[in-house]
Amino acid sequence: MDAKPMVATDRGDVKKLKDLLNQEDAMAMVVVTATSKKPPGEDQPPAGNIINPLLLASARGGSWEALNLLLEREDAKKPQMMVPTRKFLQLIARSSSAQGRIPVSAAGDVEEGVDDQPVSSVAAGALLKGLTPQGDTALHVVTNGGGRNFLKYAGIICNRDKRILFSRNHNGDTPLHRAARVGQPRMVSYLIHLAAREGADTKLRFLRMENNRHETALHQAVRFEYGRGLRYEEKEAFIGAADPAREEKNKRDEIGGVLNEDGKSLGDAEGTPEERNIVKLLMGADAELANYPADGVSPLYLAILLGKSTIALILYHMSRGNLSHSGADGQNALHVAVLRDRVMVEFLVHWNRSLTAQVDKDGSTPLHFASSVYFRTGSDLRFMFLRTLPWCRFVWIPWGKKIHDLVFNANPAALYQADKDGYFPIHVAASVGLKDVVQFFFNDYPDSAGLCDAKGRTFLHVAVDKEEFDIVSYVCRTPSLAWILNMQDNDGNTALHLAIEARNFKIFCALFGSRRVCLNRINNQGETLRDLAKSKVPHGISYIENPECKIHEVLWRAETSTVPFERISFMKDT
């Protein structure tokens, strides 16, 4: 008799197979059961993955003695302790970090209960495999502290299972991510030390691990560490302070910042600033760490975005310039520096001029960004002390150097690089009404005034469309720009056509008042200026002072006048 293969893939099918086995000959069947694949997170995690509450309590307090008590019970292959004994509570209370969390007096109210613990898993290593609801191991939890007890606690865990050092929670964070985020430099040092014991390659792999946001522990350190922007007068001082040429200091960065489990430095006897600065600790352990991730937000970009120029300088100098400049949405560090930190723009264009030619997802270069930002410039009178006679003096300190000037001088060719919409930097400047930037581009490269976007529009068309009167007025008052006044876009519209479309009487007057503007241009729809103006006049009752009515009246008078029409004098009367 041939066997009938039957497969069950879920609980319902298994029940059906059991019922069928009761009805037919079981010897004639081969029954296979298998679990179906479901998306992660659809089912609750197994009960064995839930962290032991006593382990969590000991980790939060850094009580390594309480941890040893739990591990000794596991080594004896006894059920996990689920109800605290008097001894356990005493160990927790003894921990200096746990004072006030569990009253010492509670110890007398708890029976030993050693042999009456609830039934739980006794599998080897099951205790340390427990996870919190966020997916944190006990090592993740203990990294919230930085005292000697916390360091010793972490060492005990890693000595029992080295793999926990590389474990990730639900956000992809390793214990090193957590220690850097909460600002525990001693714990960061010790975790690096634990990884280094497994070899140099293991240490580098540990330092370069990324979470679900593709961020390393260095990103967390950049967020935590104090940093600030730089003023122009202290720029040179910070360059000297972060000079990587001093080999003695670099050696201290790499060795002096690593701690053993007793919280003592392997290099210096006392804590140095490098030991307390997590960014310097991480960069000292791996000078190439600022290159990760390969794509996405780099530590340098993040530091500039957060306005922490001092940290950005540390990253650059400790990496000796070998670091990533990439950022969000295809941007680089120069894109964000233009918007956030004027001093860093000078550093970046000096370090890497190629940044000026790189584009983001919209095709915009840093010069596009710089062309959209308005900065005031000037100088302040400051009182300065001197080391020699006359001991003090007043000095003028300039501030607010023009960003577009810096970026443009680093790469003038970027002026002729269009974004995905065909906008050149001069179009961007005109769209936000930055007359000084437009004038700067035109003075250096006069032909840039004729650059057209994807719609065939010059910067004058864009200024009219965005109703930027200052730009329009500047063009009308500049004789050398008269040649763009009558240029037509892909729809055949001149700037005056667009002024009528926008119903902006002020801009219309500025253009109409120029003798170089032609009034007989027809667009691709076959509309003259007057035809277009007439179509904009509201039907029915309308107020004569409405801009549409005034524009139409001006063009009607200009067209029907039997004598030479003096546009300038008319505009003054109007």
Query: Within the chain, what is the greatest distance between any pair of CA atoms?
Result: 116
**Rounded Cα distance, 166 and 174, in Å:** 6
Both structure tokens of 456? 């065939």
Q: Give 154-178 pLDDT, tens digit per residue.
A: 999 999 999 999 999 999 999 999 9
Cα distance between residue 245 and residue 426, in whole Å: 41
State the residue range of the domain holding 527: 439-573
48 found inside a domain:
no
Asked, for residue 30, whether it belongs to a domain, the answer is yes
Average pLDDT value for the chain? 81
| CATH code of the domain containing 569 | 1.25.40.20
- Give the angle 491-548-561 at the CA atoms, nearest 5°: 90
Residue 7 has pLDDT above 60, yes or no: no
Strands 4-8 and 378-385: unpaired
Residue at a domain's end among 43, 62, 77 = 43
Is residue 560 in some structural domain? yes
Amino acid found at 204: L
> Token pair for residue 312?
């950005």
Tell me the pLDDT band of 569, cut-offs 50, 70 and 90: very low
User: Which residue, chain included where needed, has tokens 């005056």?
Assistant: 496
Q: List pLDDT tens digits, range 77-106.
A: 888 888 889 899 988 888 744 444 444 444
Q: What is the pLDDT of residue 387?
A: 76
229-247 in b/e form (b: 16+ CB < 10 A) is bbeeeeeeebeeebebeee
Tokens of 14: 């298994």
Reply yes or no on whether the pLDDT at 541 is more than 80: no
* Predicted local distance difference test score (pLDDT) of residue 565: 47
State how many domains the chain has.
2
Is the omega angle on the peptide bond into residue 479 within 30 degrees of 0, that is, cis? no
Cα–Cα distance, 323 to 314 (Å, whole number): 11
Give me the pLDDT at residue 260, please: 54
CB neighbours (10 Å) of residue 277? 20
144 in a structural domain? no
Helical H segments across 412-517, by residue range:
425-431, 435-444, 459-465, 469-476, 495-502, 505-512
Q: Model's pTM, two decimal places?
A: 0.78
Virtual CA dihedral for 311, 315, 318, 324, nearest 10 degrees? -170
Cα–Cα distance measured from residue 240 to residue 444, given in angstroms and rounded to the nearest whole number: 35
Average pLDDT score over residue span 9-23:
54
Given this model, what pLDDT does residue 123 score?
Answer: 61
What sign does the dihedral 567-571-573-574 (CA atoms) show? Answer: positive
Among 187, 298, 319, smallest CA distance to 253 is for 319
Residue 561 lies in a domain: yes
- Is residue 472 in some structural domain? yes
Q: Mind spelling out the 3-state secondary structure of 241-280? A: HCCCCCHHHHHHHHHCCCECCCCCECCCCCCCHHHHCHHH
Per the domain annotation, does 19 fall within a domain? Answer: yes
Structural domain includes residue 22: yes
- pLDDT, residue 118, reads 55
Q: List phi, psi (to 5°) of 229.
A: -80, 165
- Among 393-397, 409-413, 534-538, which range has the highest average pLDDT? 409-413
> Does residue 27 register a pLDDT over 60?
no
- Are 319 and 351 spatial neighbours (Cβ–Cβ below 8 Å)? no
Q: Give the contacts of 447 (CB within 8 A, at least 6 positions apart).
A: none
Q: Nearest Cα to 533, choosing from 563, 508, 562? A: 508
Cα separation of 538 and 536, whole Å?
A: 6
